[in-house]
C-alpha cells in the first residue's frame, strides 16, 4: 500500500473511532476505489456498516475482507461478530474456530467461539473454549464469568468456586467474583449483597434484562400487581413506590392504581431503561433502605419485586419500609423460599446463583417486629433457574 493510501486509511479509521461515520465511509470508499480488495478497508467499512445497523451489507464487506486476507484472525473475529449479530450462529462458530486456529492464544476468539457453542447447546465445547479464553486472557472478566456460570449450571460448584478464586487473584477489587465465591462456597457470606456488586452486575445486565427474564418465565411483577390490586380495590389515587424498580417491569402494572409512581434502584443502567418507559413520575438512583428512611410517611404502597432476594438479613429494608409508609399503607414483595426442614436451619441462606432465600417464619417475625400487621405470605412460582422452577413467597403486610 502506498504511503498516501495508508494515511487515507488511517484518517478514515480516526474518523470512525470519533463517530464521524460519513467522513469515515468516504475515506474507506476512496481506498477501495484504488484498491478494491484492500482487506483492512473492507473490514473497517464492514464493521461500521454493522455498527450503524446495516448488518447485511456489513456482512458482505466482511466476507470479502476474509477472502482477500484469509490468514488474518482479527478479520475472522470481526466477521464472526457480525454473523453472531445476524443470528447465523453455525457460520459464526466456524469463523471464530478459524480465528482460533490461526491464533491459538487469541483469548477473544476462544471466548466468542465459546459463546456460540453455548448458544448452540454444546456445553462441553463451550466449557473448553472458556477455559482457553481464561488461560490466554488472564484478566478477561467476561470469560471468567461465563466459565464459572457454566460450571455452576453443570452442578460443578467447587470448580466454579476455583474459577471465582482465580478471577479474584487477577482482579482483586472486582465485587462480582467476591460475592459469587461466597455464594458458591457458603463462606464469608455478607448480610446482604454489597452496593458495588449490585451496581456492577445490574448495569452490565440492563440491556438484556427484559429479554432474559421473559425467557425465564419471570412473573413476580404480575403476582405482586394483582395481589396489590385485590387489596386496594378500585383506587387510582395512591402514592406508589417501586423499590428496586430495575428496568420498570412493574411500572405499567402499577400505574392504573397510582396518583404518583416513584421508582428507585441502585443501578443507573437499570434506571435508564425504566426512564425510557415514560411511566414513572420520578426515578432515583439510590440504595433502597436509605431512600425509604429519608421519606417518612410518604407512600401508600411499596412494591418490591425480586429485589429483597439480594438481602439476607431483612430487618433493615423492612424497618425502612415501615418508616416510609403512611399508617394503613401496604408493603408487597417477593422472596425466594427456603424450605423448612429440621427447624434448625438458618433463617436465610445464600444460594450458589448469588441470591438469598428465606424461611417463611423468619419473614413473619421480621415484619411483626417492625410493626406490620395483616401479614399474608403465599407460595408461588417466580421464575425458572436453569431447568428448575423457583418457589417463592408473595408477601403482603400493612402498617
Ligand X SMILES: C[S@@+](CC[C@H](N)C(=O)[O-])C[C@H]1O[C@@H](n2cnc3c(N)ncnc32)[C@H](O)[C@@H]1O
Contact positions vs ligand X (CB under 6 A): 198, 202, 220-221, 244-246, 249-250, 265-267, 270, 287-288, 305-307, 310
At 147, list the grid cell: 466459565
Other beta carbons within 10 angstroms of residue 156's beta carbon come to: 15
Taking the alpha carbons of 99, 103, 104, 109 in that order, is the dihedral positive or negative? Answer: negative
Q: Which is nearer to ligand X, 40 or 306 (CB)?
A: 306
How far apart (Å, rounded) are the C-alpha atoms in residues 80 and 221? Answer: 37
Q: Which is nearer to ligand X, 79 or 218 (CB)?
A: 218
How far apart (Å, rounded) are the C-alpha atoms in residues 399 and 396? Answer: 10
Smallest gap from Cβ 105 to ligand X, in A, equals 37
Contact between 106 and 99 (Cβ < 8 Å): yes
The HSE-up count of residue 78 (CA atoms within 13 Å, CB side) is: 27
- With 0-12 CB in 10 A as exposed, 13-18 as middle and 19+ as buried, what is 215? exposed
Q: Which is nearer to ligand X, 108 or 265 (CB)?
A: 265
Q: Which is nearer to ligand X, 125 or 287 (CB)?
A: 287
CA distances for 397 relative to 35, 245, 340, 363, angstroms: 72, 19, 21, 11
Give, for 396, the enclosing helix (H) or strand (E): strand 388-398
Q: Which is nearer to ligand X, 223 or 367 (CB)?
A: 223
How far apart (Å, rounded) are the C-alpha atoms in residues 72 and 392? Answer: 51
Smallest gap from Cβ 69 to ligand X, in A, equals 44
Smallest gap from Cβ 140 to ligand X, in A, equals 25
Q: Which is nearer to ligand X, 148 or 225 (CB)?
A: 225
Q: Which is nearer to ligand X, 202 or 372 (CB)?
A: 202
Q: Which is nearer to ligand X, 195 or 345 (CB)?
A: 195
Smallest gap from Cβ 266 to ligand X, in A, equals 4
Give, for 112, the enclosing helix (H) or strand (E): helix 107-119
Q: Which is nearer to ligand X, 356 or 372 (CB)?
A: 356
Smallest gap from Cβ 273 to ligand X, in A, equals 9
How far apart (Å, rounded) are the C-alpha atoms in residues 165 and 187? Answer: 13
Q: What are phi and psi of 383, to 5 degrees?
A: -175, 180
Smallest gap from Cβ 146 to ligand X, in A, equals 20
Report the residue number whose CB is nearest to ligand X.
Answer: 246
Other beta carbons within 10 angstroms of residue 85's beta carbon come to: 14
How far apart (Å, rounded) are the C-alpha atoms in residues 317 and 297? Answer: 15
Taking the alpha carbons of 29, 35, 38, 40 in that order, is the dihedral positive or negative? Answer: negative
For the stretch 59-83, what's the b/e string if a residue is b when 16 or more beta carbons lie within 10 angstroms of its beta carbon?
Answer: bebbbbbbebbeebbbbbbbbbbbb
Smallest gap from Cβ 245 to ligand X, in A, equals 6
Smallest gap from Cβ 292 to ligand X, in A, equals 10
Smallest gap from Cβ 284 to ligand X, in A, equals 10
| Cα 26 to the center of its chain, rounded Å | 37
Amino acid at each position: 500500500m502506498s504511503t498516501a493510501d495508508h494515511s487515507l486509511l488511517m484518517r478514515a479509521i480516526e474518523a470512525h473511532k470519533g463517530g464521524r461515520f460519513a467522513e469515515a465511509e468516504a475515506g474507506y470508499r476512496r481506498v477501495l476505489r484504488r484498491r478494491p480488495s484492500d482487506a483492512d478497508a473492507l473490514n473497517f467499512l464492514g464493521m461500521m456498516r454493522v455498527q450503524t445497523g446495516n448488518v447485511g451489507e456489513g456482512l458482505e464487506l466482511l466476507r470479502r475482507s476474509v477472502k482477500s486476507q484469509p490468514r488474518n484472525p482479527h478479520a475472522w473475529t470481526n466477521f464472526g461478530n457480525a454473523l453472531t449479530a445476524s443470528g447465523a450462529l453455525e457460520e459464526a462458530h466456524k469463523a471464530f474456530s478459524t480465528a482460533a486456529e490461526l491464533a491459538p492464544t487469541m483469548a477473544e476468539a476462544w471466548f466468542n467461539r465459546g459463546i456460540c457453542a453455548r448458544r448452540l447447546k454444546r456445553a462441553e465445547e463451550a466449557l473448553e473454549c472458556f477455559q482457553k479464553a481464561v488461560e490466554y486472557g488472564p484478566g478477561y472478566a467476561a470469560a471468567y464469568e461465563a466459565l464459572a456460570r457454566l460450571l455452576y449450571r453443570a452442578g460443578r460448584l467447587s470448580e466454579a468456586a476455583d474459577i471465582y478464586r482465580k478471577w479474584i487473584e487477577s482482579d482483586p477489587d472486582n465485587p462480582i467474583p467476591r460475592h459469587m465465591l461466597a455464594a458458591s462456597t457458603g463462606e464469608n457470606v455478607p448480610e446482604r449483597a454489597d452496593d458495588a456488586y449490585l451496581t456492577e452486575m445490574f448495569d452490565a445486565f440492563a440491556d438484556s434484562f427484559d429479554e432474559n427474564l421473559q425467557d425465564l418465565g419471570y412473573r413476580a411483577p404480575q403476582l405482586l400487581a394483582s395481589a396489590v390490586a385485590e387489596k386496594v380495590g378500585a383506587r387510582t389515587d395512591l402514592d406508589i413506590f417501586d423499590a428496586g424498580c430495575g428496568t420498570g417491569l412493574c411500572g405499567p402494572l402499577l400505574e392504573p392504581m397510582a396518583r404518583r409512581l416513584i421508582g428507585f434502584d441502585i443501578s443507573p443502567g437499570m434506571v435508564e431503561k425504566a426512564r425510557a418507559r415514560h411511566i414513572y413520575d420520578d426515578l432515583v438512583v439510590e440504595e433502597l433502605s436509605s431512600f425509604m428512611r429519608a421519606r417518612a410517611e410518604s407512600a401508600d404502597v411499596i412494591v418490591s419485586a425480586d429485589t429483597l432476594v439480594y438481602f439476607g438479613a431483612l430487618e433493615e429494608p423492612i424497618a425502612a419500609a415501615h418508616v416510609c409508609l403512611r399508617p394503613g399503607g401496604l408493603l408487597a414483595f417477593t422472596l425466594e423460599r427456603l424450605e423448612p426442614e429440621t427447624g434448625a436451619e438458618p433463617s436465610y441462606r445464600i444460594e450458589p446463583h448469588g441470591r438469598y432465600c428465606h424461611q417463611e417464619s423468619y419473614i413473619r417475625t421480621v415484619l411483626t417486629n417492625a410493626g406490620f400487621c395483616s401479614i399474608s405470605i403465599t407460595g408461588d412460582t417466580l421464575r425458572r433457574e436453569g431447568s428448575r422452577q423457583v418457589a417463592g413467597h408473595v408477601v403482603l403486610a400493612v402498617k
